[in-house]
Structure 1
């Protein structure tokens, strides 16, 4: 089981704001803001939990934590839990803790056993702070044991 948490985000469409964050959100006439963020991640911990029958099976979990970077500078942390729900399918939920709030995500993904997923999307399900009304998705470009890369597309 490999989780999305070992990935990264980048680039932002930004405008000036009172925030100390140089990556601010552009607003439209309806008050909606769009942001594209590219990050990279470095794993800070991965733990496998073998639930149920010994060996790979439904209910097994992987817990992942990572540090997030934007343009090589520390930009937050991530935590996620993936649960095996079928022989080759996992359901993952996670949270990115960023300078202006948190962004939550989830996905259901089927991959060959033992193969890390890559080049897919996860749904953004909400957030806190500047991301309290966040919706959108993240495109996952690559994942490895040590980290990864992805792009987050938000409308807040």
Structure 2
């Protein structure tokens, strides 16, 4: 996550985010739906989400000052499938756990994100490193911690890549 005073991509997450620099996501699978698609025998279902940042509210510890441990950001993103159809939304919070240090200016955040899809919700949590570095937000991986509905026993991972300003691609691997 970037300092709460800087522009970010959403969660995430929510996972990222998604996560400050939160996830803006869209959902799609190999079948074009928001449902996991099995890709062969023994392979875990995968959902691809494109997230578009809709809202972002920073809550800095030192307003107007440098990034500090405890800075928070709350984010919401619209989720789309790969065809551009809106299939849900994500919402989450991130807390800066490590501000910039000498020799390590990147910082770190912990994020908790919920992805709301047609058949239920997925929750994800994890660390996000390098969020204070200049340039596009870095990729990250978070753990799926649970879910509801079709995803009630979900486990797996969420991988997020920045693909544009305020836009991320999430690859959710259920397993």
With structure 2 as the length reference, what TM-score do the two structures score?
0.71
1:108 to 120, 127, 142: 127
C-alpha deviation, 1:34, in angstroms: 3.8
Looking at structure 1, the residues matched to 164 and 34 of structure 2 have their Cα atoms a distance apart, in angstroms, of: 29
Is the CA contact (8 Å cut-off) linking 2:116 and 2:122 kept in structure 1? yes
Pairing of 1:21-40 with structure 2 (within 5 A): 23=35, 34-40=44-50
With structure 1 as the length reference, what TM-score do the two structures score?
0.79
Looking at structure 1, the residues matched to 166 and 119 of structure 2 have their Cα atoms a distance apart, in angstroms, of: 25
Corresponding position: 1:90 with 2:109? yes
Unaligned runs of 5+ in 2: 3-7, 12-17, 100-106
2:161 to 133, 141, 146: 141
Point out 4+ residue stretches in structure 1 off by more than 4 angstroms. Answer: none
Per-residue CA deviation, residues 7-53 of structure 1 (Å, 9 max, x unaligned), is: 43555366xxxxxx773665xxxxx9942111111111001001257
Between Structure 1 and Structure 2, which shows a larger proportion of strand residues? 1
1:63 to 65, 69, 74: 74
Q: CA RMSD in A?
A: 2.9
Measured at CA, do residues 75 and 22 of structure 1 come closer, stay the same or move farther in structure 2, by a change above 3 Å?
closer
Measured at CA, do residues 107 and 133 of structure 1 come closer, stay the same or move farther in structure 2, by a change above 3 Å?
same
Q: Tell me, what secondary structure is at the counterpart of 1:130?
A: helix
Residues paired across the two proteins, number: 146
